[in-house]
Amino acid sequence: MNKMLNKILGGLYGQALGDAFAMPAQVHPDDTERCFGWLDSWQAAPADHIVHAGLPAGRITDDSEGAFSIAQAVIDEGAVTLAAAVKGLTTWYDRVDGDNSPYVGPSTRRGLNALKAGEDPRTTGLWGDTNGAPMRIAPIGLLHPGDIEGAVADTVTVCMPTHFTQPAVSGAAAVAAAVAQAMVADARLNDVIAAGLRGAELGSAHGRRWFGCSVSFKIEQALAIANSGTELRVKLRRLFDEVGATLNVPETVGAAFGLLALGQGDPKTTAILAANLSGDADTIGAIACAMAGSFAGFDAIPAADVAVLENDTVFQEYGVKAIADGLLALIQKSARIG
């Protein structure tokens, strides 16, 4: 397999892996442990799950669907544009009946309803401060192998319709930059993480000033916990209690980088850690495993887990391998023009 295609597929399948594997996790690690013990196998969502009740094992959620829909729109447009971002978001929102879906986040719903009312997409995201932006940005990073600045510039565009606040753009830029660096042949994990920190700083110069601590600070806090000498489960609990695992962008992105480091860039290990972290585990897992998959490549994802994803009817609807081919074609086109 083409090495770059291997990384693109790794990022896309990694996104879905982290999303679907962590989907059944409960809002608190104690609840997840009572329900599953150590969650290390594919499970359906519990009947009392606050968001995902009724979802079968292996089902992807809005984290992956939004990312895939944006990628499809960018491929159709031939470039990352504001129009493509709007098209990708609205197509996905209509597809899942977003007004009535329990999975759609508050910032996304607010921004998309404003778009549907005819408001300017350059202003509809000025209130968006939750983690919808970083959860679906990985395909933008895939388009920019080794180009952190380019990944951040396109991230700003994609964030605009729903999440154009400083913390949201900074968090999304951290993820896109890390993925961009992960796309480099023989990338080192430390360089991927450093790129994420650089992306967070570059992204913080964009978007409406808004409540929230520094994304870079939360990433560094999570990395310090991941690199501490304590036992694995203690580290996970510290990530949950000290960094946080809510819809707050610095928490989500910080925790995702902490899991990436804890899992040493391995997609399946990172997915298991995300599930046991709990909280907004599917989103944190989607982000962390998109980075891990881009870093380690599709070949690092166990074939049995690939089969679970490909058996999911929602995953099947998106034609993920065709998305990967389309992204590769855009990268090659950009290289020829450059």
Mean pLDDT over residues 314-318, rounded? 98
What is the per-residue pLDDT for 335?
Answer: 78
Q: Residue 149 and residue 154: Cα distance in Å, rounded? A: 9
> Is residue 103 within 8 Å of residue 130, measured between CB atoms?
no
What is the per-residue pLDDT for 1?
Answer: 75
How many Cα atoms are found within 13 Å in the side-chain-facing hemisphere of 204?
A: 15
Which residues, at least 6 apart from 34, have a Cβ–Cβ distance to it below 8 Å? none
Mean pLDDT over residues 287-308, rounded? 98
Mean pLDDT over residues 281-293, rounded? 98
Hey, which residues does 248 pair with through a beta bridge? 130
Per-residue pLDDT reduced to its tens digit, 95-144: 999 888 888 889 999 999 999 999 999 999 999 999 999 999 999 999 99
- Nearest alpha carbon to residue 26 among 303, 281, 306: 281
Statement: residue 311 has pLDDT above 70: yes
> Is residue 97 within 8 Å of residue 128, measured between CB atoms?
no
Per-residue pLDDT reduced to its tens digit, 4-34: 999 999 999 999 999 999 999 999 999 999 9
So where are the chain's domains?
Answer: 3-47+56-337
Rg, Å, the chain Cα set: 18
What is the per-residue pLDDT for 203?
Answer: 98
Q: Residue 183 and residue 311: Cα distance in Å, rounded? A: 27
What's 37's DSSP letter? S
Please report, rounded to a whole number, the percentage of residues in the chain having pLDDT higher than 70.
Answer: 100
Per-residue pLDDT reduced to its tens digit, 49-103: 999 999 999 999 999 999 999 999 999 999 999 999 999 999 999 999 988 888 8
For residue 272, CA distances in Å to 26, 192, 275, 330 come to: 14, 21, 5, 32
> Is residue 217 within 8 Å of residue 223, measured between CB atoms?
no
What is the per-residue pLDDT for 336?
Answer: 75
Q: Residue 95 and residue 98: Cα distance in Å, rounded? A: 8
HEC profile of 173-232: HHHHHHHHHHCCCCCCHHHHHHHHHHHHHHHCCCCECCCCCCHHHHHHHHHHHHCCCCCH
Per-residue pLDDT reduced to its tens digit, 241-282: 999 999 999 999 999 999 999 999 999 999 999 999 999 999
Hey, which residues does 196 pair with through a beta bridge? none
What is the per-residue pLDDT for 103?
Answer: 80
Hey, which residues does 130 pair with through a beta bridge? 248
Per-residue pLDDT reduced to its tens digit, 40-52: 999 999 999 999 9
What is the per-residue pLDDT for 252?
Answer: 98
What is the per-residue pLDDT for 338?
Answer: 64
- Nearest alpha carbon to residue 143 among 182, 112, 193: 182
CATH superfamily assigned to domain 3-47+56-337: ADP-ribosylation/Crystallin J1 (1.10.4080.10)
Per-residue pLDDT reduced to its tens digit, 164-216: 999 999 999 999 999 999 999 999 999 999 999 999 999 999 999 999 899 99
